[in-house]
Amino acid sequence: MNELVISNNYYKQWTITRTLEPKEYILFNRDTIAIESTAWNLNISVTNFNDKLITEYNRPFLNPLDPRQVKQYQESCIDNIYSEIKKLNFKSIDYVYCRGPGMPLSLNSIKYLYDFLKENLIVNSYATFHGLSHLAEVLFKNEVPSRFLFCYYSGGTTQYIIKEKKEYSILSETLDITIGNLLDRRSKLFPYFCKAYEIEVNFDLVTAELEGTRKNCASFSRYFNLSGIAEQSKNWSYQKLLSFIGNLTIKMICEIGEKTVFFGGGVFNSKSLKRLLMLLKPVEYTFNFEENNSDKSYMHLQNRYINKLQKDLEETVISYCPNLRIVDDHTPYPHNQQFQIPLVKNKFLLFFSEQSSLSKRKIIYSLRKKSFLKEYSKYIEILSYRRHIPKHES
C-alpha cells in the first residue's frame, strides 16, 4: 500500500487512485464506499471491485473550527465527489461509515452522501465504531491474536480496551478530559485540532523529566480524571507533559498486565511519544502501532472486513454503547472562545448527560427549533460540538 504510506499527510487536499493489493481484493469483495467525516477532515474511499481499484478523496477543513462552516464545506466537497462516483455506474454498494464518536454537524455528512447514493443505487449500510477502526488498521498489518490490549488515544477518547475471544471490554478510561484534550490545550500553533500531536521536541528533554512525572502518575486508578493535571501542567514544558503521558500509559498497561498491546488514535501521530513508549516498554511486552493515526475512511473499510482475518471468522461484540460525556471545557467557536460551563454547577447539562440517546436527540432538536426555554438556547452550540464518548456499562 505504498501510495497510502506516501500520502500520509491528511492535512492537505488530494485524490489518489491505486490498484487493490491481493489481500485487499480477497477481503474487500464488493463495490464499497467508506466515509469518515470529522471536525477537521472529510475522507471518502471508493472501492471498484470489478476494476480492482480504490480511490481515496481527502478534503481537510483547515480554518479555525466552526461546526457550521465545517458542515457547509463538507457538503460542497461531497457534491463534487458524488459527481465522480456516478461515472462508475455502480448498481449496488456497501456503505461503511463511523457511528461515532464525532461532532454531530460533521457526522451529518454521512447522511448527506447516503441520500445521494440511495436515489440510484441499492445501498447496504454498515456502521463502525471509530476506535475499533483505528484498531483494525493495526490488526490489518499484524497477525490477529485472540487476546490483546488496545490503547486508544484520540482527541475525544482515552481508553484501554481488552479484547478476549469475541468480546471487547473497557478496563480503564478517563472520566473527564482526554489525553488529546491535554495536548490540544497546550498548543496555540495551529488553528485546527489534531495537529498538536505532531509537534516534535528534543527527546533528551523528554527523558530528563521521566523521574519527576512518574510521581505524578502514582495515585492514578483505572478510571481517572485529568483536569487536575491540565491545571497543574500549565507551568510545565511540552516535553514534561509528554513524559507524564508516557509514564501514565506504561503504568496503566502494566497494571492491566496484558503483554500484547496495540496502539491507535490521533495522539500516536506523535513520533516522540511512540519513541518514549518503546524506551519504557518492559522487555516481555509487545507493542504494535497504527501506521498512520489520522482519521480516514480506509480504516472503516478495514474494520468492516477485519473479522475475515480472525481465526473464528465471527463478528466480535463490544461491551459498551455511545453516551455523552460533558466536561468543564469551553466551546471552540471563534466568536465566543471564553464561553465556560462548569460541570458541577450546571443542572441542565447534568440532566442532559443522564438521558438516553433518543432523548438527547429530541432535546437537541427542541433547542434548534427554539421550543425549549430561551435560557437554554445557548447550549445548542456546546451540545453540537461535544463528542459522543463510548462509556463502559457494567
According to the model, what pLDDT value does residue 331 have? Answer: 33
Does the structure show a pLDDT above 50 at 376? yes
Q: For the chain, give the mean pLDDT.
A: 77
Same domain, 87 and 30: yes
Provide mean pLDDT across the span 130-141.
Answer: 80
Q: 321 is written with which cell numbers?
A: 454503547
Q: CA 275 from chain center: how many Å?
A: 21
The residue out of 131, 153, 178 marking a domain boundary is: 131
Does the structure show a pLDDT above 60 at 324? no
Q: Which residue has the higher pLDDT, 78 or 387?
A: 78
According to the model, what pLDDT value does residue 374 have? Answer: 65
Whichever domain contains 157, its CATH number is: 3.30.420.40
Q: Which residue is listed with cell 472486513?
A: 305
Evaluate the CA torsion angle 38, 43, 47, 52 in order and state its sign. negative
Q: Which residue has the higher pLDDT, 73 or 337?
A: 73
Same domain, 185 and 249: yes
Residue 304 lies in a domain: no
Task: Return the minimum-mean-pLDDT range out of 18-27, 195-204, 283-292, 350-359.
Answer: 350-359
45-48 contact pairs (CB < 8 A, 24+): 45/296, 45/297, 45/298, 45/301, 46/85, 46/88, 47/20, 47/301, 48/88
According to the model, what pLDDT value does residue 381 have? Answer: 54
Provide the percentage of residues in the chain whose pLDDT is more than 70: 72
According to the model, what pLDDT value does residue 317 have? Answer: 47
Residues 196 and 189 sit within 8 Å (Cβ to Cβ): yes
Provide mean pLDDT across the span 200-205.
Answer: 87
| Beta-carbon count within 10 A of 235 CB | 7
Same domain, 283 and 377: no
According to the model, what pLDDT value does residue 17 have? Answer: 94
pTM score, whole prediction: 0.71
Same domain, 106 and 189: no
Q: How many domains does the chain have?
A: 3
Reported as a pLDDT band with limits 50, 70 and 90, residue 373 is low
According to the model, what pLDDT value does residue 75 have? Answer: 95
Task: Return the minimum-mean-pLDDT range out of 13-27, 102-116, 224-238, 327-341.
Answer: 327-341
- How do beta strands 32-37 and 41-48 pair? antiparallel
Query: Which residues span the domain enclosing 360?
Result: 323-392
According to the model, what pLDDT value does residue 114 have? Answer: 94
Q: 265-305, pLDDT tens digit by residue?
A: 888 888 899 999 999 999 999 999 877 767 788 888 888 87
Same domain, 112 and 162: no
Same domain, 12 and 95: yes
Whichever domain contains 100, its CATH number is: 3.30.420
Evaluate the CA torsion angle 117, 120, 126, 132 in order and state its sign. negative
Reported as a pLDDT band with limits 50, 70 and 90, residue 390 is very low
Reported as a pLDDT band with limits 50, 70 and 90, residue 129 is confident
Reported as a pLDDT band with limits 50, 70 and 90, residue 338 is very low
Reported as a pLDDT band with limits 50, 70 and 90, residue 53 is very high
Does the structure show a pLDDT above 70 at 372? no
Q: Which residue is listed with cell 468543564?
A: 328
Residue 315 lies in a domain: no
CA distance 213 to 208: 10
Same domain, 75 and 156: no
Residue 35 lies in a domain: yes
Residue 305 lies in a domain: no
- How do beta strands 147-153 and 260-264 pair? parallel
Query: In terms of residues, how long is the chain?
Result: 394
Task: Return the minimum-mean-pLDDT range out of 94-108, 116-130, 361-375.
Answer: 361-375
According to the model, what pLDDT value does residue 354 have? Answer: 66
Residue 108 lies in a domain: yes
Q: Which residue has the higher pLDDT, 323 or 10?
A: 10
According to the model, what pLDDT value does residue 329 have? Answer: 37
Provide mean pLDDT across the span 219-224.
Answer: 80
